Amino acid sequence: MTNSKSKTVKVETFFREFEVDISDEACMEFGFKHNDKVLSPNGEKYTIVGMAVNPCGIKTKTLWFTMDGEGEQVHHWGYESLVNEGFKKIK
């Protein structure tokens, strides 16, 4: 559910619900925007949800995404994974 005032959306992982920042400013730290379609080096397709500090207790910013065909279940990448592994925006 989107919060129109703060540009956030609530997402749920296996362990908790939390808010993800979907603003261009937050997502562009990783080189992508909310709802961008991304292709992994393995050919898997993802949709960018937004940025949030990892809620697992690791205080690093991570980019959250859904994997095509998995519904609304979210997963995350760290900045180094995105840069070093060669994720590309699908045009």
* Residue whose C-alpha is closest to residue 22's, from 12, 37, 10: 10
Residue pair 39/87 in contact by the 8 Å Cβ criterion: yes
- Average pLDDT per consecutive 10 residues, the chain (91 residues; last block may be shorter): 60 75 92 93 92 75 87 81 83 76
Domain positions in the chain are: 2-89
Q: What is the DSSP string of 24-68?
A: HHHHGGGT--TT-EEE-TTS-EEEEEEEEE-TTS--SEEEEEEET
Count CB neighbours of 8 within 10 A. 19
Whether pTM > 0.85 for this model: the answer is no
At residue 1, the pLDDT reads: 42
What pLDDT does 55 receive? Answer: 66
